[in-house]
Amino acid sequence: MSDADPVCPLCERSIPPDAPQSLHHLVPRVKGGRGGETVLLHHICHKEIHATLSEAELARSYSTVAALRAHPRLAKFFAWVAKRPPGFTSRVPGPRRKR
């Protein structure tokens, strides 16, 4: 880990080059976000977002980092994962959101 590593804006841990990572479209591509703003996240944080919120919810109410961090369940997850090492990974259970 170096000071030059990017930082996940959700859990605020550094993202070293060997850590699982992915880009998240703040507005989902299928909801008009193709070519829109993306943020680099730990893969586990990205998976938790999509296990919690639908594409419609993301586009309508959670299209900013601040909104994602304010979601009660996601906030609890981000606080929990922030205590783990930057390369921490775990299986995120299947979809838990109500469809």
Q: Domain ranges for the chain, please list them.
A: 21-81
pLDDT digits (tens, 9 = 90+) for 79-99: 999 999 988 888 765 555 554
Any bridge partners for residue 24, and if so which?
39
Q: Are 41 and 10 in contact (CB under 8 A)?
A: yes
> Alpha-carbon distance 60 to 53, whole Å?
11
What pTM did the predictor assign? 0.87
Sign for the CA dihedral angle at 66, 57, 44, 84 comes to positive
The Cα–Cα gap between 38 and 60 comes to 16
Write out pLDDT tens, residues 17-47: 999 999 999 999 999 888 899 999 999 999 9
